[in-house]
């Protein structure tokens, strides 16, 4: 009797088994042969599950984002104020638990800049839009509850773009400042301006 392979699960298993190697060596410095060996499969079998190395990176990032988003969602659900929620949302810039995701995203960024195919652009655009909607929902909820002034809506896009810029800067530059303190101070300053004082 033939063994039935769950291709979706097998794809995930291969991706997860290659994650550490991908982080250590980088997408441009690693061969498909080495990735296949790490996963315990043949090079030919690798192509049964992935079209190329970029496809593998997408799967690794997808799995990491899924895990990250589940943890983030739980933290956000336990937060009481919009201020707390925005700080939690921005933890990805400095939290040690998100270090792996930052390193993986650095690999993705490398691919995005060197080989900006339609698939890569679409992938990046989709995730960017999902995170923007999530970030915006924090402010929308705060405004609806009258915790935040209506003017707070005008800051959402700018804050999100600024956050994206900080994220890329963190990945590409040596930052000597304490990111958590800098971000917390910035968020506190903004929220001191946009919170309705009678709700504090």
State residue 4's pLDDT score: 62
In DSSP terms, 147 is beta-bridged to none
How far is Cα 104 from Cα 10, in angstroms, rounded to an integer?
A: 20
Does 200 score more than 60 pLDDT?
no
Other CB atoms within 10 A of residue 27 CB = 20
Can you give the pLDDT at residue 47?
93
Given its phi and psi angles, is residue 178 left (phi above 0), alpha (psi -120 to 50 degrees) or beta? beta
The answer to whether residue 5 scores a pLDDT higher than 70 is no
User: What are the sequence ranges of the domains in the chain?
Assistant: 53-199
Task: Indicate if the pLDDT at residue 121 is higher than 90.
Answer: no
pLDDT tens-place string over residues 45-62:
999 999 988 888 889 888
3-state secondary structure of 57: helix
> Measured between alpha carbons, how far is residue 52 from residues 25, 33, 66, 77, 176 in Å?
17, 11, 22, 38, 36
- Given this model, what pLDDT does residue 83 score? 95
- Report CA-CA distances (Å) from 83 to 79, 152, 191: 9, 12, 6
How far is the C-alpha of 54 from the C-alpha of 140, rounded, in Å? 36
φ/ψ region of 120 (left if φ > 0, alpha if ψ in -120 to 50, else beta) reads alpha
Q: Compute the mean pLDDT over every residue in the chain, rounded to the nearest whole number.
A: 85
Q: Say what the pLDDT of residue 188 is.
A: 93
CATH number of this structure's domain 53-199, picked from the four choices 3.90.1200.10, 2.60.40.2130, 1.10.357.10, 3.40.950.10: 1.10.357.10
Q: Which percentage of the chain shows pLDDT scores above 90?
A: 42
Contacts 24+ apart (CB under 8 A), 192-196: 194/148, 194/149, 194/151, 194/152, 194/155, 195/82, 195/83, 195/147, 195/148, 195/149, 196/146, 196/147, 196/148, 196/149
What does the pLDDT look like over 167-196, one tens digit per residue? Answer: 777 667 766 556 788 888 989 999 999 998
- What does the pLDDT read at residue 100? 81
Q: Using the predicted structure, report yes or no on whether residue 141 has a pLDDT greater than 70.
A: yes
pLDDT in tens, 59-117: 988 888 888 889 999 999 999 999 999 999 988 877 777 888 887 887 777 777 777 77
Kindly state the percentage of the chain with pLDDT values over 70: 92
């Amino acid at each position: 009797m033939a063994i039935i392979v769950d291709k979706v699960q097998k794809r995930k298993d291969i991706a997860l088994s290659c994650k550490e190697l991908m982080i250590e060596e980088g997408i441009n410095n690693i061969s498909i042969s080495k990735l296949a060996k790490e996963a315990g499969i043949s090079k030919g079998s690798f192509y049964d599950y992935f079209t190329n190395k970029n496809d593998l990176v997408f799967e690794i990032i997808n799995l990491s984002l899924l895990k990250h988003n589940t943890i983030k969602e739980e933290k956000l659900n336990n937060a009481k104020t919009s201020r707390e929620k925005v700080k939690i949302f921005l933890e990805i810039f400095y939290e040690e638990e998100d270090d792996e995701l930052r390193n993986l995203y650095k690999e993705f960024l490398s691919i995005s800049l060197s080989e900006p195919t339609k698939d890569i652009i679409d992938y990046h655009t989709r995730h960017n839009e999902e995170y923007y909607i999530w970030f915006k929902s924090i402010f929308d909820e705060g405004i609806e509850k009258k915790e935040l002034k209506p003017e707070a809506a005008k800051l959402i896009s700018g804050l999100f773009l600024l956050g994206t810029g900080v994220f890329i800067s963190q990945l590409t530059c040596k930052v000597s400042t304490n990111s958590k303190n800098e971000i917390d101070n910035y968020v506190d300053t903004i929220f001191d301006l946009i919170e309705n004082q009678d709700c504090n």
